[in-house]
Structure 1
Amino acid sequence: MPSRREARSRRTARATIAAVSAFALCCGVWLLQSGGAGHAPPQPSAAQAAGERPGPGEAAAFSALPPSAPTRLRIPSLRVDAPLMGLGLTAEGSLDVPPAERRNLAGWYEAGTAPGERGTSIVAGHVDNAEGPAVFYSLGALKKGHTVEVDRTDGLTAVFTVDAVEVYDSRAFPDEKVYGSSRRPELRVITCGGGYSKKTGYLGNVVVFAHLTGTKGAGHRVGGW
């Protein structure tokens, strides 16, 4: 069990990420380094946006798991299978990103909520790099009801069901909606997307919203309550 000091530190870190500028997520290595807009990644349709009320087929939430660092993320419908590294904040206070040269690598905000733990956990990765498509190139093609699986160091795999896939302009990024706290275990998967400018690169972000609906591993069942 974490100490009071550790708990306070994590709460502070979670509050910090809620204030991160979305613009910073599409600067530097996240911008397209070569090629053209003709090879733009898929973008989510309006049908994949969050509704005001849960749909009749929405999967029930699963009870929260204890903290445990994630090691790998899979999105079966997109054939994504990538290791995870820990991410912190840059000196400017923005979310750091994985090394651009490692195309099949994603990262999680390790000072915040671990995937499966109560709260909002953050995973980010590149859409492409100078050599071509990267780990989350197809993220905009994900649909409601699809699953995201996260392996953890405790031997469990947290299974999340997608609630929505949305795209936001960096000038109107909803920080609180994306990074804000939650009373249930939730996951955000973020990459670059939206419009594209040859001068500045991608103009926004694709964001996947998902919640914990089960686990895989000894002694744990899969599915809602």
Structure 2
Amino acid sequence: MVPWSEVTTTRAGGRHRIPWRAAGSVVVVLLALGGFGLIGASLTDAPTAPPPQPPAQANPQVGVATSPDVAQPAPVGLPRSTPSRIVIPRIDVNASIMELGTNPDGTVEVPPLDQAQLAGWYEPGASPGEVGNSVIVGHVDSAMIGPAVFYSLGALDPGDAISVVRDDGRQVDFTVDSVVSYPKTEFPTELVYGPTDQIGLRVVTCGGTFDEAANSYPDNIVVFATLAR
């Protein structure tokens, strides 16, 4: 696991340009080796009020709501389009989205800490509304601005709504299935970035109690959501 202080937060010149469906397990391996548990703040002081936390999850496979026994038809996704804004009414999020890729060491890029009010879309994956898991990440807080875009992400509950506006003018609405906290050493890479025949959304930030010695958070909060019906 790479310490937060060693993570490159600028755009990577040699990032992946192949679609997720073509990249397959290669990207999953890179993400697992590089470690995703890097979305959080590099703080000089611990925050005065810790961000909300969902229940910890010991078994990553339980992190996603299961489908009913009745077979569901494969959804028809939208054409690819870059997302421009994410709206989460329950926690008062209405934020612009920047494009992110991977750093040369295989770790996922994150928004710069001086732009911690922005969310970031993992561009090699599916766009919101396409078939597949679209991944949006963001900081929980920052020494530069304090509470950041996803400070209250852990307060979400199943059934809450998330909307993503795309550059083609369409708004894609998702429903939260589950909100789970994972130790960064047990980040569920396959559940977040892996292939699926559904239209899914994963929203990720840091979680847990701020570790002053390590100057970082020990966990990741992952919101699993599916297309609203």
TM-score by length of 1: 0.80
Letter in 2 for 1:33: L
Find the counterpart in structure 2 of residue 91 from structure 1: 104
* CA RMSD after TM alignment: 2.6
Measured in 2, the distance between the counterparts of 1:169 and 1:46 equals 8
2:222 maps to which of 199, 207, 210: 207
Measured in 1, the distance between the counterparts of 2:205 and 2:139 equals 6
For the Cα contact (< 8 Å) 1:23–1:170, is it kept in 2? no
Structure 1's consecutive aligned runs of 4 or more residues displaced over 6 angstroms after TM superposition are none
For the Cα contact (< 8 Å) 1:14–1:111, is it kept in 2? no
Letter in 1 for 2:226: H
For the Cα contact (< 8 Å) 1:22–1:173, is it kept in 2? no
SS at match of 2:178: strand
Find the counterpart in structure 2 of residue 41 from structure 1: 51
Structure 2, unpaired ranges of 5+? 1-16
Alpha-carbon displacement from aligned partner over 1:145-184 (angstroms, at most 9, x marks no partner): 0011000111100000000000000111121122211101
Measured in 2, the distance between the counterparts of 1:37 and 1:103 equals 15
For the Cα contact (< 8 Å) 2:45–2:212, is it kept in 1? no
Distance of aligned partners of 1:132 and 1:157 in 2 relative to their CA distance in 1, 3 Å threshold: same
Shift of 1:39: 2.1
- Counterparts in 2 of 1:187-198, with a 5 A limit? 187-198=201-212
Shift of 1:61: 8.9
Q: How many residues align?
A: 202
For the Cα contact (< 8 Å) 2:64–2:224, is it kept in 1? no
Shift of 1:30: 2.7
Structure 1, unpaired ranges of 5+? 1-7, 214-223
- Check if 1:144 corresponds to 2:158: yes
Distance of aligned partners of 1:194 and 1:209 in 2 relative to their CA distance in 1, 3 Å threshold: same
SS at match of 2:208: strand
SS at match of 2:191: helix
- Counterparts in 2 of 1:7-26, with a 5 A limit? 9-10=18-19, 11-13=21-23, 15-19=25-29, 20-21=31-32, 24-26=35-37
The structure that is strand-richer by fraction is 1
- Counterparts in 2 of 1:9-158, with a 5 A limit? 9-10=18-19, 11-13=21-23, 15-19=25-29, 20-21=31-32, 24-27=35-38, 30-36=40-46, 38-45=48-55, 50=63, 53-54=66-67, 63-130=76-143, 131-158=145-172
Shift of 1:36: 1.8
Shift of 1:26: 3.8
TM-score by length of 2: 0.79
For the Cα contact (< 8 Å) 2:206–2:221, is it kept in 1? yes
For the Cα contact (< 8 Å) 2:37–2:185, is it kept in 1? no
Measured in 1, the distance between the counterparts of 2:103 and 2:111 equals 12
